[in-house]
Each structure stands twice: as C-alpha cells, then as structure tokens.
C-alpha cells in the first residue's frame, strides 16, 4: 500500500516509521531536509524535500494514487491544501488533514475532508486521565459519518505508509 505523509515532525516521522515497518511504500515530504533526522536509520521509504501543497511536486515524488495521504504539518491551511490536492488532483483514496482547531476540523469534515484534531484527542486524554468527563468530540472526523472509534454516528464523521531511502532528495 502506498502512503504519503506531508510533514516530518514528530507525528509524521513516527507514522512514517510505523507504516514502513508494516511494509507500506512510504513517501515523506517536508520543506526542511533537517526534519528527516527524526527518521530511524532503518527507514526504507523515500524522504523528499519539497512542498507538499504543490501538485507538481507531489506528482514528481510519486504521490499519485496514494492509498493513504496524511497532511501533518503545523499549519492547518497547508494541511487542508495538501489533502485537497491529494484527493482531487492525485486520486488519493484516503486523506486526513491535521487541524488544530476543533471547530475548523468539524467544518472541514462537513465540507468533505477527513480531519484529525489533536486538540480534541489530547484534551480528552488528559481529562480521562485525571477523572474528568471527556468532551466526546471525535479526534478524527470523516465525511462518511464515522468516528475514530469505528462506530457510525449520524451527525459526525474515522478517517483514515517503502522503497530505497532518498533522504533529502529535492523534487
């Protein structure tokens, strides 16, 4: 399965390694070559320096027809743009855009974009740990009407990574 990840921060690098070890073809893009230092020496996917919101860059990197496309940069707008390009222009089958604002995550899910809201995930994790009630807001919303727990919900929406290392390759 081909997985493309835009953003090699801590989450992107961790997921790239996870998908790589599971036998997926992984293409990882980041604007900063130094970000790839987070990857383990065993990573066998492609680590490419480039703009994950640019359609031509993604095509040259081999991201067309990805089975999974994850936009995990620090910028909500960049993530929305990357996920939209992947879904609409590249034919990605499953896309997720990380959105920090729970209200924006809900709004983008209603517009047809699967979203991951780490704010909701972390707030509920802390609340649960200290014994407070959790918000009940989904961490992952998709247009299909299911949450990250795999259960179907009428009004909410789960969403859903090689080949020879090409560390620091620029496309």
**pLDDT digits 0-9 by tens, 16-53:** 999 999 999 999 999 999 999 999 999 999 999 999 99
| Residue 147 in tokens | 């949450």
The interaxial angle of helices 102-110 and 118-130, nearest 10 deg, is 130
Note the pLDDT of residue 142: 85
Note the pLDDT of residue 156: 36
The alpha carbon of residue 160 and the mean position of all alpha carbons in its chain are separated, in whole angstroms, by 9
Residue 11 DSSP label: H
| Residue 118 in tokens | 């780490």
Indicate the fold that domain 2-115+160-170 takes in CATH: Rossmann fold (3.40.50)
Nearest Cα to 53, choosing from 25, 24, 87?
87
Coil, helix or strand for 70?
A: strand
- Alpha-carbon distance of 130 to 70, in angstroms, equals 31
Average pLDDT over residues 62-70: 95
Q: Where are the domains of the chain?
A: 2-115+160-170
Note the pLDDT of residue 40: 97
Residue 132 DSSP label: P
Helix boundaries (H) for 22-75 = 55-61
Report if pTM > 0.75: yes
- Alpha-carbon distance of 128 to 153, in angstroms, equals 21
Strands (E), 105-167: 115-116, 140-141
**pLDDT digits 0-9 by tens, 131-144:** 999 988 888 998 86
């Amino acid at each position: 399965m081909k997985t493309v990840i835009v953003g090699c921060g801590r989450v992107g690098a961790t997921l790239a390694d996870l998908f790589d070890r599971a036998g997926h073809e992984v293409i990882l893009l980041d604007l900063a070559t130094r970000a790839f230092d987070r990857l383990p020496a065993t990573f066998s996917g492609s680590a490419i320096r480039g703009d994950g919101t640019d359609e031509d860059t993604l095509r040259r990197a081999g991201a067309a027809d990805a089975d999974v496309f994850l936009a995990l940069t620090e910028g909500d707008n960049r993530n929305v743009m990357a996920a939209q390009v992947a879904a609409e222009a590249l034919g990605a089958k499953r896309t997720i855009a990380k959105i920090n604002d729970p209200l924006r995550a809900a709004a983008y899910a209603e517009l047809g974009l699967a979203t991951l809201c780490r704010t909701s995930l972390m707030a509920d994790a802390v609340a649960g740990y200290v014994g407070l009630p959790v918000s009940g807001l989904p961490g992952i919303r998709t247009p299909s009407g299911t949450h990250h727990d795999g259960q179907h919900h009428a009004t909410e929406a789960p969403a859903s990574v090689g080949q020879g290392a090409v560390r620091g390759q620029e496309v």
